[in-house]
Amino acid sequence: MLQTIRARLVALVLAVALPLFGVLVWVFWAEIARVHNSARDLALRIAISIASDVRDANQRPRSLLQQMAQRPKIQHAVRGDCDSYFGIVDFYPQYLNLLQFDPAGNLVCSSTPAAADARYSAIADPLIQARVRQTHGRNIDTMVIPAKGKWILVLFQPLGNGQLALEEYLDLDVRPYPTGTVVTVVDGHGKVIARSPEIANWLGRDVRNNLGTISQHGHQGSAEARGIDGVPRQYGYTRINHSDWILYVGIPAGIARSQVRSLVIRGISAGIIICFVVLLFALQLATTINRPLHALARTAQRVAVEGYSGNVPADGPREVAVVGQAFNRMIASRSDAERALVDSRAQLEALSKKLLEVSEEERSRIAREIHDELGQLLTALNMDIGGLLRSAEPLKPEQKMMALRIRHALSETLSSVQRIASELRPAALDDFGLIAAVESEVRTFEERTGIECELSLPEDDTLSLGPDVDAAIYRIVQEAMTNVARHSDASRLEIRVRQQPDETLVEIRDDGKGIPASKLSDRNSLGVAGMRERARRIGATLEVEGIVGHGTIVSVRIPVKTAQTARS
């Protein structure tokens, strides 16, 4: 997949970036957990602090009420004759009002609240009186009353002839704490008796199915829970001593997350910018490396063209530049070697052409000498022996047998001389042209090998492509037929000569076992190499195709221009 330098550099950037983002995510969650734990600890500390204040707010006034309840004038107070102790609220700013009720719940005595406290006391007094009347003198639980944004704590002390009720402020102010902090006070029945902020909305609400689940197994602790308003918070809770109340302090989980989220977003943004810059640098580096490498590749492709001697730019990174310089030296060396090879090839081609010409000339000369001299001598010898035998008649039987053997041997010798001369340079090729020479060779081949031959030739028996071309084609056909006789195990041979507008096609087909592909490139296959060299010398193309079990096809294509040049 990663086949290019660019892709690998991008993969390297991703290999660095992905773990980096993984670490950032891990840090994010770890920081979230840390902040959550910190928020829980803070909520628990706030809960303990507020619970301590509430406990003190219960104990001190309760002790005061107990002392006042022992005073005879308070125990036997009558309307309009209130004891001077009712003025105690003037000395303690946290107390709003002190009330005394008879057994029927009627107000007997009351202190005079300060002007700042009077409006809150005016709200609490009727509620306190209603509670006293409902209880009919029995012990009354501490009340918590919301009054215009403040909480009023009311403690009761029974008397023999009624009840004492002391009003004081309960500090549930959440402004000093993190934004969204909620303080909730729940009684022993799981009912909300105080909550800050949003004082009046939640009084009496049952919290046993949400907040109550986190405080079932301990006096105090912390946990994450969803409040009665549906908002998830980190809660700390504790039980208030000397009461069945539980105080919960909740800090919104979103506040903790938002702080960490902001930090992580900044970290991720910085990481993305860094990765983007590194990616741009990697792409630029890839371009810097690829440019000389692509030039090197293009030059390498052009080097395949014979005679190319250009240079590749030796720039880019030092390693690439070194490769470019080495490549240029290789091109220079190759150019020198190629020029030497071209010269050597030209010399070899000239030598090969000369050898073929000399060979053909020598064949012609030897054929003429054999035909003219040796043939004439053998003919004269045959005639002389014939005259000698006629002059010696009558011959004895044994002499007649010897004469027959002599005449037969002379006839065979003369036929062999004629055959050898024909093979060296068939007279038909010079006298009657290529077609006649091929027909003569095919008849001789068929008689000698017994292989059935089929000829498909042009109607023009005088077809001539020029002396050199005719001789080369004849020798190619002759060599192909020799290979068929020696190697193919064929039973049938077909030779076709076709004249087309732009070329002359010669095909030799057999139905033998087919020449293997390995033999076509074998240096020892001199017959195939010779055919190719003859075809190349006359500007023709030769193809040899072997099909195992189906025979071999030898095709020679002679362009018209080549034939015209040879004839001229």
CA atoms in the 13 A half-sphere facing the CB of 555: 11
Q: Which residues contact 466 (CB under 8 A, 6 or more apart)?
A: 563, 565, 566, 567, 568
Cα torsion at 509, 510, 515, 519 (round to 10°)?
-60
Is the same domain home to 309 and 451? Answer: no
How would residue 95 be classed by pLDDT, with cut points 50, 70 and 90? confident
Token pair, residue 231, equals 């908002």
pLDDT tens, residue by residue, 39-59? 888 888 888 888 888 887 777
Amino acid at 46: I
Strands 452-456 and 492-499, bridge-based pairing: parallel
How would residue 5 be classed by pLDDT, with cut points 50, 70 and 90? low
How would residue 206 be classed by pLDDT, with cut points 50, 70 and 90? confident
pLDDT tens, residue by residue, 268-325? 777 778 777 777 777 777 777 667 767 766 666 666 665 556 666 666 666 666 766 7
Q: Which residues contact 42 (CB under 8 A, 6 or more apart)?
A: 178, 236, 251
- DSSP state letter for 260: H
Token pair, residue 347, equals 């010399």
What pLDDT is recorded for position 1? Answer: 47
Is the same domain home to 353 and 445? Answer: no
- Whether 8 maps to a domain, the answer reads no
Of the listed ranges 178-187, 190-199, 491-500, the one predicted with least confidence? 190-199
What pLDDT is recorded for position 485? Answer: 85
Last residue of a domain, one of 258, 284, 316: 258
Q: Is the dihedral of CA 395, 396, 399, 400 positive or negative?
A: positive
- Whether 423 maps to a domain, the answer reads no
- Whether 106 maps to a domain, the answer reads yes
Q: For the chain, what is the domain count?
A: 3
Token pair, residue 151, equals 């909480």
What pLDDT is recorded for position 460? Answer: 66
Residue count of the chain, please give it. Answer: 568
Last residue of a domain, one of 361, 377, 396: 361
Mean pLDDT of 490-502: 86
Q: What CATH number should be reported for the domain holding residue 142?
A: 3.30.450.20
- Whether 192 maps to a domain, the answer reads yes
Is the same domain home to 211 and 322? Answer: no
pLDDT tens, residue by residue, 502-547? 888 889 899 888 888 777 766 667 777 778 888 888 888 888 888 8
Alpha-carbon Rg for the chain, nearest whole angstrom, is 63
The domain in which residue 356 lies consists of: 305-361
Is the same domain home to 87 and 178? Answer: yes
- Whether 394 maps to a domain, the answer reads no
- Whether 137 maps to a domain, the answer reads yes
Mean residue pLDDT across the chain:
77
Is the same domain home to 240 and 331? Answer: no
What pLDDT is recorded for position 67? Answer: 81
Of the listed ranges 28-32, 298-302, 408-412, 491-495, the one predicted with least confidence? 298-302
- Whether 403 maps to a domain, the answer reads no
Is the same domain home to 246 and 331? Answer: no
- DSSP state letter for 317: S
- Whether 4 maps to a domain, the answer reads no
Last residue of a domain, one of 315, 338, 361: 361
Mean pLDDT of 153-161: 83
Question: Considering the entire predicted model, what is its pTM?
Answer: 0.46
What does the alpha-carbon distance between residue 533 and residue 520 come to, in Å, rounded to a whole number?
13
- DSSP state letter for 373: I
Q: What CATH number should be reported for the domain holding residue 473?
A: 3.30.565.10
Is the same domain home to 39 and 128? Answer: yes
What does the alpha-carbon distance between residue 237 and residue 483 come to, in Å, rounded to a whole number?
109
187, 245 in Cβ contact below 8 A?
A: yes
Is the same domain home to 217 and 344? Answer: no
